[in-house]
Chains A and B, each alone.
Chain A
Amino acid sequence: MEFKNLLLLLTDDTDEEIISPCIQFCKIFRCRLFVLFIMEPFRISRLASLTHKKTNELHKTIEEQGWKLLYLVEDEATENDIRTSLHHEEGNMIKLIKNFVENYTIDALILRKKEATKKVFVASPVMVIGL
């Protein structure tokens, strides 16, 4: 099996533990890594309501957390000579993934099996690798 372009999906629900195994995977298959952090507006509103936080404050925190995760992936990728492309998007997760897979000819998607990403297993147009 060959993987040229791999997509790592990150959400506010993803922790840093996914980074190292994902980088190792890219190293083995010598693939380019696209990293996509997705913020879903409805999820932020729901989280704000559950945590009694202001939506705009939570939005800011999650947005910054997203960039931080993206650059953490990039930093480890750089140390391992893996090409990375960072993307931070807001919108419907499934639509964004489908567009991304098409635009960048993604071969497979890597994600952390968490609540926010369950639906991706069903809707993804390419193979999903859950870590």
Chain B
Amino acid sequence: MTNWIDRNIKWVFTMPAVIFVALMMVAPVGYTFWLSFHEWSMSNITPPLWVAFQNYLELFQDELFIKSLKLMFYFTIVAVTVETVLGVGLAILMNQNIVGKGLVKTLFLLPMVATPVAVGLIWVLIYEPNIGIANVFLEKIGLPGQEWLTSQNLVMPSLIFIDVWEWTPMIALIVLAGLVSLPKDPYEAAMIDGANTWQSFTKITLPLLKPTLYSAVLLRMIDALKTFDIIYATTQGGPGTSSQTINIYGYVLGFQYFKIGQASALLMVFFIIVLSISIFTILLRKRAGVNL
């Protein structure tokens, strides 16, 4: 027995985890796939009814679905771009001789580890039109107050701002780790050749930093596509459907309207989008010569 275990140790050690992932993740996704071809309201009396591709056909004619897709991409692209630019800037600042750098790095971790629901609710207070500090500040400098989370036009930028606050430090700390490990020689050579700071940043730092940036952006993008907690805690997709990303729409369809079939079809599409974007970027990263 002991011999058998030792000979097959790599399966004995990994199987429990693999079986767990299969039961809790693979099987449920399969079940969602099956449900996406049925019509059901989670009722015990009427079982799921086979409707073939009906749910998918309806989905692609559903304006709210198209809108939620656009909102998801809008949120992800803007948030990740801003976070990357600000994060790189912050990392370069922090890569100097800073008094108390260890403490600064530690404190910058706080936005990303704080409970997202609590973070969302703190921002609800900050954005509150009458008593929030955002409008108090605007009025102090002579600008009119805004309906941050309750106006159709401002709600997405306001939510993106929260995401930027939460995740810029992560990009900054990842990039900082990359900057620290960069070789010194190219910079000295560039200085001798008379390159200015901007030139050495674009010609040396950015190319050398590419692998690190790739990892940071990829990871942030995967999570940004799936943002749920902050949006649900602050607006639940509102006002109306102005901030209803695909993740929120799936939740609303499934657990508020109990349109299980349609929700499942939407979740399968969402699943495929997230997975294919992730695989595509991982492959791109491999081709760029970056290992995990």
- Whether chain B is bound by chain A comes out as no
Which A residues contact B (CB, under 8 angstroms)? none
